[in-house]
Structure 1
Amino acid sequence: MKTFLLNLLILFLSVHLFADPVKKSDELCSCLKDAKESKNEKSKKKCLQLREKHVKALKKNSPEYNEYIERLNVCERQLMGAGDIDANLSTEKKIEAVCNCFQNKAQQKMMCFKLQSDYAKTIANDEERASFNVASGSCDK
C-alpha cells in the first residue's frame, strides 16, 4: 500500500512539474524572443527542439496543451507587433480589423494572416467562420 501511494504521489508530482503549460510557454516565448533578436539559425533550431519537447510532455489535445498553445499565440502576436485580439467583436468588426491590417501593414502580411487565423478561431459557428474566412481572405488582394 505504501508503495502504491508513493508511486501515485510521484506520478502526480511529475505530471504537475513537467507538464506546466505556463512555465513551458514562458520558456519557449523567451527562446523565441532571443532567437528573433540574435537572428541566429542555431537559436531558431533550439526553439523548435524545445517546442517538440514541450508538445511531447504536454500531450497534444490535453487541457494543458491547449493552454500552452493559447499562451504561445499571445507571445507570437506580441513578437510580430500584432497586439491582442478581441473575441467579443462582431464578425463584421473582425473582418474590418483584418482588412485594415492588410491595407495598412502590407509589408507585414504574416502578422495579418496570424490575426485572421486568430479571429477565425473565436467564431464557433461553422457557417459564420466560413463566411468570415471568405470575406477577410478577399482583403488580401
Structure 2
Amino acid sequence: MKKIITLWILILIPYFVFANAEKKSKEMCACLKKAKSSQEEGDKKECLDLREKHVKALKKGSKQYDAYLKSLSSCEQELAGLPQVDANLTTEEKTKVVCDCMKNASKQNRMGCFKLQSDYANTISDKEEKKAFNLNSQSCGD
C-alpha cells in the first residue's frame, strides 16, 4: 500500500508543479497582452509586479521556473509578431523563416529574430547541420 501511495505521489507532483507554472505563465501572458493593447503605465507596472510575484513563488532556477519561462516564451513571440517555432521544418525552411524575420523586422524587433534563430538551432540535433544553419541564417541578417 505504501508503494502505491508513493508511486501516486511521484506521478502527481510533477503534474501539479508544471500545471502551476503553466497557470502562472498564462496569467502573465494575459497581463502582457492587456498592457500592450492599453499602453497605460499602470498596466505595465502591474505586469512587472506580477512577474516579481511569480519569480518568488516559483523560485528562480527551479524546474517550475524553467517550465514557466518556456511556456511564457511562446506568448512573448506572439506579442512580438514572430512566428512559432516549428521543429518539423527542414533546415532550409528554418533558415528561410529566420532570414524573412531579419528582413522584415524593425531594429527593435530584431532581437526577437535572434531568439527565433536560437530556438530553431536548438531543434537541430546534427552538429554539422546545426553549424550550417547558424552560418546560413547569420549571413542573411547582414
Both structures adopt the same fold (TM-score exceeding 0.5): yes
> What is aligned with 1:29?
29
Question: Any stretches of 5+ residues in structure 1 without a counterpart?
Answer: 1-12
Q: CA deviation at 1:133?
A: 3.1
Going from structure 1 to structure 2, the CA distance change for 1:137 and 1:48 (only over 3 Å counts) comes to farther
Show the 5 A alignment for 1:93-108.
93-103=93-103, 105-107=104-106, 108=109
Letter in 1 for 2:25: S
Structure 1 SS opposite 2:100: helix
Structure 2 SS opposite 1:54: helix
> What is aligned with 2:84?
84
Going from structure 1 to structure 2, the CA distance change for 1:61 and 1:88 (only over 3 Å counts) comes to farther
Going from structure 1 to structure 2, the CA distance change for 1:122 and 1:57 (only over 3 Å counts) comes to farther
2:140 equivalent to 1:139: yes
Question: What RMSD, in angstroms, separates the aligned Cα atoms of the two structures?
Answer: 2.8
Going from structure 1 to structure 2, the CA distance change for 1:122 and 1:23 (only over 3 Å counts) comes to same
Letter in 1 for 2:137: S
Instruction: Give the length in aligned residue pairs.
Output: 126
My pick for the range that moved more, 71-80 or 81-90, is 81-90
* 1:85-130 alpha-carbon deviations (Å, 9 max, x no partner): 1112233321121012222x13343442332232133234566545
* 1:5-40 alpha-carbon deviations (Å, 9 max, x no partner): xxxxxxxx9xx58x8111100110011001111222
Show the 5 A alignment for 1:1-141.
16=16, 20-103=20-103, 105-107=104-106, 108-124=109-125, 128-141=129-142
TM-score (norm 2): 0.70
* 1:33-68 alpha-carbon deviations (Å, 9 max, x no partner): 011112223322321232222122223343322221
* Percent of aligned pairs sharing the same letter: 53
Partner Cα separation in structure 1 for residue 127 and residue 22 of structure 2: 30
My pick for the range that moved more, 48-57 or 28-37, is 48-57
TM-score (norm 1): 0.70
